[in-house]
């Protein structure tokens, strides 16, 4: 639905690749001015080029979401350039080391939780502050995962971070609902991105994982982007504190 984000300003973290990149471009096509955040500069600029090629307007701000000062600066630069923040997709994340808990390191726990959970908390903090200042509501979507709803042997830290994102989403939604700020989460199963390739790219693992998707394939980044666009649009105006599962049937039950 072209133009439904016309006049809106959106932040997309982790917009340098995968799901965030497609969402940033889709937001721009829907009329939003889009601020793309991530650590990789060349990839960030590439997303901005795609936005401009689609007739949109965007800005890349190099940001590590695990650092408070950088997230605060991201929101500040967005306001300096475009005057406000109406929409945010807090999507940046890493998979962390895949190993049993007994072999996981404290460093990996801190790094994964720092980006996936503290990063979302920091984004919420500064985005909500700005939205409250504006006084005209807003819409935020946090990236969780089906790993926020189920356990995953070998990915306990990742899983814990995504469970945490759902707790943050519900709590933040309760704090902001009366101010017209809607906060939801999205829970994808396996989506074809660099992260999925790293985790599930080996032929045996891929076959096993495909078998857990009754639809018979992995998801595409744009399929998640479409759901996020809807959650950030007026069409989802009564939705807050919820998570939307986008999983090709993964959560419906074991494939018999
Ligand atoms: N693919 C899946 O199967 C799947 C399923 C469920 C949920 N998810 C979630 O979807 C999100 C996006 O992942 P993806 O699949 O699109 O993988 P991806 O292509 O690897 O994208 C990850 C994004 O996160 C950014 N990022 C990582 N650490 C960051 C940091 N410290 N500060 C700022 N940005 C950071 C990366 O940018 P830089 O490297 O430039 O910083 C990149 O843009 C993640 O939160 C992931 O957990 C993915």
**What range defines the domain where residue 103 resides?**
9-191+221-243
Q: Best mutation site among 11, 12, 13, 14 for ligand 1, i.e. most ligand atoms within 8 A of its Cβ?
A: 14
Burial classification of residue 100, based on how many CB atoms lie within 10 Å of its CB (0-12 exposed, 13-18 middle, 19 or more buried): exposed
Q: Is residue 197 part of a domain?
A: no
Closest protein CA for atom 36 of ligand 1 = 14
- Look at residue 107 in the predicted model and tell me its pLDDT: 98
Q: Is residue 200 part of a domain?
A: no
- Look at residue 254 in the predicted model and tell me its pLDDT: 84
Q: How much is the pTM?
A: 0.98
Q: Is residue 60 part of a domain?
A: yes
In this prediction, the residues of the chain whose per-residue pLDDT falls under 50 are: 1
CA of 14 to the centre of ligand 1 (A): 5
- Look at residue 1 in the predicted model and tell me its pLDDT: 46
- Look at residue 126 in the predicted model and tell me its pLDDT: 99
Q: Is residue 40 part of a domain?
A: yes
Structural tokens at position 147: 């790993």
> Comparing C-alpha atoms, which of 85, 241, 88 is closest to residue 168?
241
CB 1 within 8 A of CB 25: no
Q: Is residue 185 part of a domain?
A: yes
Structural tokens at position 195: 């992260």
Q: Is residue 63 part of a domain?
A: yes
CA of 110 to the centre of ligand 1 (A): 17
CB 246 within 8 A of CB 223: yes
Number of domains in the chain: 1
CB 240 within 8 A of CB 177: yes
- Look at residue 189 in the predicted model and tell me its pLDDT: 98
Q: Is residue 225 part of a domain?
A: yes
CA of 113 to the centre of ligand 1 (A): 13
Read off the CATH number of the domain in which 46 is found: 3.40.50.720
Q: Is residue 205 part of a domain?
A: no
> Exposed e or buried b for every residue in 7-27, given b needs 16+ CB within 10 A?
ebbbbbbbbbbbbbbbbbbbb
Closest protein CA for atom 41 of ligand 1 = 39
């Amino acid at each position: 639905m072209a133009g439904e984000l016309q006049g809106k300003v959106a932040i997309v973290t982790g917009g340098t690749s995968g799901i965030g990149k497609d969402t940033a471009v889709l937001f721009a096509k829907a009329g939003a001015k889009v601020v793309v955040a991530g650590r990789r500069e060349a990839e960030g600029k590439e997303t901005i080029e795609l936005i401009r090629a689609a007739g949109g307007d965007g800005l890349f701000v190099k940001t590590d979401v695990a650092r408070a000062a950088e997230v605060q600066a991201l929101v500040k630069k967005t306001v300096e350039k475009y005057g406000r923040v109406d929409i945010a997709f807090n999507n940046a994340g890493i998979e962390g080391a895949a190993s049993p808990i007994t072999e996981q390191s404290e460093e990996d726990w801190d790094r994964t939780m720092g980006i996936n959970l503290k990063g979302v908390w920091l984004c919420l903090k500064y985005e909500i502050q700005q939205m409250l200042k504006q006084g005209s509501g807003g819409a935020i979507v946090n990236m969780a995962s089906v790993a926020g709803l189920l356990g995953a042997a070998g990915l306990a830290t990742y899983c814990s971070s995504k469970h945490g994102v759902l707790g943050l989403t519900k709590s933040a939604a309760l704090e902001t609902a009366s101010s017209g700020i809607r906060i939801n989460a999205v829970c994808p199963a396996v989506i074809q991105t660099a992260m999925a390739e790293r985790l599930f790219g080996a032929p045996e693992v891929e076959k096993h994982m495909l078998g857990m998707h009754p639809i018979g394939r992995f998801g595409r980044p744009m399929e998640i982007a479409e759901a996020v666009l809807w959650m950030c649009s007026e069409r989802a105006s009564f939705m807050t504190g919820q998570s939307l599962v986008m999983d090709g049937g993964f959560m419906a039950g074991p494939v018999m």
